[in-house]
Amino acid sequence: MKCKNISFLLFYSLLSFFMTMISEQCVAQDKSDSLSYYYYAILNPKEPEHLPGGISYYSKRKERNLINEDTLSAIGDLRMIAIGQFKIGNVYDSENSIVEALDLINKLKDRDTLIESRVGLHNQLGRVYRSANKYKEALKSFEEALELASNTKDSITILNNKANVYKDMLQYQQALDQYTQVYDKTLGHGDSLQLAMVIDNLGYIQGKMNLPSALDNLNKALEVRLKKNELTGVYRSYKNLTYFFLNRNDKENTSLYANKAFEVAKRLNNGGYTQDALSLFVEMDEDPKVKEYKRLTDSIASAKQLAENKNAYMKYNVEEERKKTETSKLLQEREKRLKVIYMGVSAFVLLVLLASYFIFRYKYKKGKIEQVFRTETRISKKVHDEVANDVYHVMTKLQSNLNINEDVLDDLEKIYSKTRDISKENSAIDVKKNFEQILNDLLLSYKNQNVNIVTKNLSKIKWDSVSEIRKMTIYRVLQELMTNMRKYSKASLVALNFNRSGSKISVSYKDNGIGCSLKKSNGLLNAENRIASINGTISFESKVNEGFKSKIII
């Protein structure tokens, strides 16, 4: 049983292993399948949908590769796109794709290692320009490609392309020079088909220039191509021979080669070649109407090409312009965003600075007020513990002396109580809890046989929510007012009215004393300073014989 189990497990794991291998292979195959399918769809299109399909496939692939930052693959994709667009006739799109690819290469650090791609792209660009009849640009591109080309085969192709441009420009002497150069290079290299192509082109130009070896070369090329059975080459040879004899009015040979070309075209089973071959017969025709038709067709075609070029150029410019506006718009928006961000950041910094300034100022002020309270308390304790005690000392000492004058003792007692008052005015008070009681006790200590004190709403204020500094200040200021009252007012009744509105606390003081002409005593000045230090207000109001009024708001 156990053994069975193990073998089953082994089997199962092996199976799953193979399954994964197979499935992975399947996926890989799928990918490479579509890649190779579209690769041939572009290089060798057979159906009408091949080229557009290939272009769209490579466009998507390029975007993917760019996102994955695989620039090398993206460049390869762009090359394929450019070839496809060129074949479909979208010359400007093709040019754009190539330029985009070249830009990507320029941005790469190791661009020097991409010589093959760059040569290919420049060569392709030259071909694009040539087909759009932009000969100057075409030549420039081929020269750039030539500069980069490192192997002979590449440079032969490029030189040949260059010569073709001269041929198109009807500059036969330059074309001849180029072809001769290509011929020399090809001889040493030894690819017979390539050599045949070169000899064929050389012969064509020589024919145009009426040089003796023209027919020889044309025939030599044909011979090689026939031997290799390269049909497109053979077709070109027949075509060039037809032109050769056409130029020399040799009707018999012209017709002979034109027919041969037509035969080959039919064997190639390609409409383009067949049409091209048939156009040879049109050229041969002596009928002036046919000749006129041919001339018109050609001029219309070239006018159409010119118009297309112009249109495409304009389209391209408009597109470029649009792209530029978009980029500048994007840039503007980015700047706007940045501006907003900068403004936000600076506003924030400003706020923080302001806030910290106020916090610092508040803390500094608070610290100062606390310092004042601490100093007062310290001095008060000293006065109490040292001066008052010492005076009491002397008093008790004298009291035990039976011969002492009572007046001296009375004076001494006055000094004693004065010191105690000073000490009391500044002594430490714990206002944290039960402030109502503390305040009541304070007022109570001023109440006696002759002085009555009445409070209103003292118990209605929630003192626990009032800061210590404010409570302390209220305590001290009331102490000053009451001391002032006891000393000068001769009042018999004092009323204190407490009120709270919002965060402010107000206390109105009123007595029925003799009043004064408001020469502020030290005590009142002190009260004023205390209130000012916590940003409160205090007002005094008094006339002789009309009592004393004060209002505190903190």
Residues that bind other proteins (CB under 8 A): 384-385, 388-389, 392-393, 395-397, 399-400, 409, 413, 416, 420, 424, 427, 437-438, 440-441, 443-445, 447, 452-456, 458-459, 492-493, 495, 497, 508, 510, 512, 547, 549
Name which of 274 and 508 has its Cβ closer to other proteins.
508
**Which of residues 224 and 507 has its CB atom nearest to other proteins in the complex?**
507
Q: How far is CA 438 from CA 97, 114, 441, 475, in A?
A: 91, 93, 5, 9
Nearest approach in angstroms of CB 358 to other proteins is: 36
For other proteins, the closer CB: 82 or 496: 496
Q: Which is nearer to other proteins, 292 or 541 (CB)?
A: 541
Report how far apart, in Å, the C-alpha atoms of 379 and of each of 4, 51, 236, 422, 423 are.
100, 102, 121, 10, 8
Who contacts 243 (Cβ-Cβ below 8 Å, separation ≥6)? 204, 207
* Residue tagged 């006065």 (tokens): 383
Structure tokens at 458: 């003292």
What is the closest distance, in whole angstroms, from the C-beta atom of residue 424 to other proteins in the complex? 7
Question: Which CB sits closer to other proteins, 131 or 508?
Answer: 508
161 versus 423: smaller Cβ distance to other proteins: 423
* Residue of 100, 136, 93 whose CA lies nearest to 121: 100
Shortest distance (Å) from residue 503 CB to other proteins: 23
Minimum CB distance to other proteins, residue 355 (Å)? 40
User: Which among 447, 468, 459 has a CA at the least distance from the CA of 497?
Assistant: 459
Half-sphere exposure of 471 (CA within 13 A, CB side): 21
The answer to whether 542 touches 549, Cβ cutoff 8 Å, is yes
Please state, in angstroms and rounded to a whole number, the distance separating the CA atoms of residues 85 and 28. 28
Smallest gap from Cβ 429 to other proteins, in A, equals 8
Rounded to whole angstroms, the Cα distance separating 226 from 216 reads 15
Return the number of the residue (92 or 373) whose C-beta is nearest other proteins: 373
Smaller CB separation from other proteins, 189 or 384: 384
Is 155 in contact with 182 (CB distance < 8 Å)?
A: no
Q: H-type helices in 453-552, by residue range?
A: 468-484, 522-533
Least distance (Å) between residue 352 CB and other proteins: 44
Report, in Å, the least distance between residue 456 CB and other proteins. 6
Q: How far is the CB of 487 from other proteins (least distance, A)?
A: 18
Tokens read off for 368: 């100062």
